Amino acid sequence: MNKSLPAIPLNELWSRVCDELQKIVSPDAVARWFLPLQVEGLTEGSGKKAPVLTLVATNTIYAFWIEENYLPQLRGVLAQLLGRKTVQVAFKTQPVAALPPQAGAHAPGAALPLAAAPTEASPVQGDFFPAPAQPTPSPSSLAAVGPSFDAPALTLTAPERSSVEATGLNPRNTFDAFVVGPDNQFAAVHARAVADAPARSFNPLFIHGRVGLGKTHLMQAIGNHLMKKKGPTHYKVKYVTSEQFTNDFISAIQQGDLSRFRKRYRQVDVLLIDDIQFLAGKDRSQEEFFHTFNALFDGSKQIVLTSDAPPSEIANLEKRLSSRFESGLTLEIQTPGIETRLAILRTKVEAMRVALPDEVLVYIAERIKTNVRRLEGALTRVAAYASLHSQSGLAIALPQVEALLKDLLQHESPATVSIDVIQRKVAETFDIRLADMTSKRRPASIANPRMIAMYLSRRLTSNSLAEIGEAFGGRDHGTVLHAQKTVEARMKADTKLGQQVEQLLNKLVG
């Protein structure tokens, strides 16, 4: 039975939470993302259910940003302050006018417990946005108040959050939230088939692909789907990373409690193991997992595994494990194409309830190609800035987007392609002088190749519009943007030109 919670006003609890968070994340991050929140309430946990702290924000950006960057730290601080093993956090949005005047204010006597404050804090990644040097926001400096825009009241946590808490699943990772495209359709369809009929076919299910393409999302969608099922069939689902499995195994050995460990992992209906490649080279952990796998498989229980490589390509993985992993269905999630990336961004924008120009979404989708997690992170960054920027009545423009995403774009562009290389290759192809790339001459025989070179510079480098314009004779960013749009329109209308530009692009990156 859970002990009852001693008394402390909610506003005082939240103040102490923010004080503790400043020790493990930057003070600017606390000021920007946590202090503007209000505490609606704290529900007492019962049985295996953890207490739930409900926070209210003026828009959905707060929830997205905190869940992406700070949720483990927030939950850890709450757990220690409240003297509980774990505490769940729920978010709601409310328009500014609907919020009460005092954050976290409660009637006298509304009280909560407080255990000893934590004595140690783990360092985490610092806040992306530095402290603002001036009141006016810029792409590299956002005001501490955080973004705001009108949105109807919206609960961002799934109703099943408390029931899935013990499984380790993120309730946001559902099939409905997974954007399906040609690059991941095969994996999505078969993952759904496993969720509809676990252990009847495709057992084990092995999903592999590069980092950040949605493997964890798809795996957890299976677990969340099964946890929602009602009726006579109730599924016991467990999700862990291979690192957690190894750590649990080591702890069990140290405590002399292997029987309890084995019961926890082998008496489940569905076992989901993320990043199984990290078992490689750990002989005792591989031995233990081999017997766990056999116990589950022989008991007709579903096993789902993810990895960054197919089983046969995981170095130092025992052959008996790789052969078992390959005995079911192996699926690859491929890097999403432009259509899928745009669909992901549009779905995310709709969920955030923030307005962004379509050209901004197209720009992000065209420039961030290899990692869905990075794609979504870029969008969250731009949306946070745009919602704040809109308070002054100005729409976000591409130069601001470029400045915000410069560090991400450097990871995406081929390192060997420079504007100078592009200019030389285009000049050679169209038989013009290299000097014409920077000259003011405007005959079509020169202006058209120059615009193509600007277009390719946009496609293949991480340089900003202003930097590209400067490299083409000191032209402004509007000229570069006009060149890009002109070339794109001409490529659609003129198949021969489109093929010529694509051949140039392939030569430059190949």
Give 109-146 pLDDT, tens digit per residue: 333 333 333 333 333 333 333 333 333 344 443 323 33
Q: What is the mean pLDDT of residues 91-101?
A: 60
Same domain, 451 and 376: no
CA dist., res. 191 & res. 207, Å (int): 9
Q: What is the mean pLDDT of residues 472-499?
A: 90
Same domain, 313 and 364: no
CATH classification of the domain holding 463 = 1.10.1750.10
**Planar angle of CA 236, 174, 217, nearest 5 degrees:** 90
Same domain, 153 and 38: yes
CATH classification of the domain holding 235 = 3.40.50.300
Q: Which of 129-133, 156-160, 385-389, 451-455 reaches the highest mean pLDDT?
A: 451-455
Question: Quick check: 51 and 165 in contact, CB under 8 A?
Answer: no
CA dist., res. 69 & res. 481, Å (int): 33
Q: What is the DSSP string of 444-481?
A: HHHHHHHHHHHHHHHHH----HHHHHHHTTS--HHHHH
Structural domain that includes position 142: 10-158
Length of the chain: 510
| 95 phi-psi bin (left φ>0, alpha ψ -120 to 50, beta other) | beta
pLDDT tens for each residue of 285-310: 999 999 999 999 999 999 999 998 89
Same domain, 148 and 213: no
Same domain, 28 and 47: yes
Question: Quick check: 146 and 217 in contact, CB under 8 A?
Answer: no
Q: Evaluate if residue 149 carries a pLDDT over 90.
A: no
In a domain, 3, yes or no: no
Same domain, 25 and 151: yes
Q: Evaluate if residue 215 carries a pLDDT over 50.
A: yes
Other Cβ atoms closer than 10 A to 289? 23
More confident residue, 249 or 119: 249
Same domain, 220 and 309: yes
Counting the structural domains of the chain, the total is 4
Same domain, 314 and 342: no
Same domain, 14 and 121: yes
Q: Evaluate if residue 497 carries a pLDDT over 50.
A: yes
Structure tokens at 436: 């014409």
Question: SS in 3 state form for 194-226?
Answer: HHHCCCCCCCCEEEECCCCCCHHHHHHHHHHHH
In a domain, 172, yes or no: no
Question: Quick check: 241 and 305 in contact, CB under 8 A?
Answer: no
Give residues with Cβ within 8 angstroms of 299, minimum separation 6. Answer: 266
pLDDT of residue 483: 93
Structure tokens at 181: 């495209």
pLDDT of residue 367: 85
Q: Evaluate if residue 381 carries a pLDDT over 90.
A: no
pLDDT > 90 fraction of the chain, expressed in percent and rounded: 35
Same domain, 349 and 321: no
pLDDT tens for each residue of 312-347: 888 889 999 999 999 999 999 988 888 889 999 998
CA dist., res. 176 & res. 165, Å (int): 20
Same domain, 252 and 353: no
Same domain, 99 and 227: no
Number of C-alpha atoms within 13 angstroms, CB side, residue 3?
Answer: 11
Q: Evaluate if residue 455 carries a pLDDT over 90.
A: yes
Q: Name which of 22, 214, 240 is nearest 118 in CA terms.
A: 22
Average pLDDT, the chain: 80
CA dist., res. 509 & res. 461, Å (int): 11
Of 283, 315, 332, the position where a domain reaches its end is 332
In a domain, 385, yes or no: yes
pLDDT of residue 151: 32
Q: Name which of 190, 155, 158, 185 is nearest 174 in CA terms.
A: 158
Residues paired with 56 in a beta bridge:
38, 92
pLDDT tens for each residue of 358-369: 888 998 998 888
Of 307, 332, 357, the position where a domain reaches its end is 332
With cut-offs at 50, 70 and 90, classify the pLDDT of residue 57: confident
Lowest-confidence segment of 97-111, 238-252, 264-278 by average pLDDT: 97-111
Of 354, 384, 412, the position where a domain reaches its end is 412
Which backbone phi and psi does 208 adopt, to 5 degrees? -130, 160
CATH classification of the domain holding 398 = 1.10.8.60
pLDDT of residue 230: 56
Whole-angstrom CA distances from 191 to 303, 330, 363 are 12, 11, 31
In a domain, 154, yes or no: yes
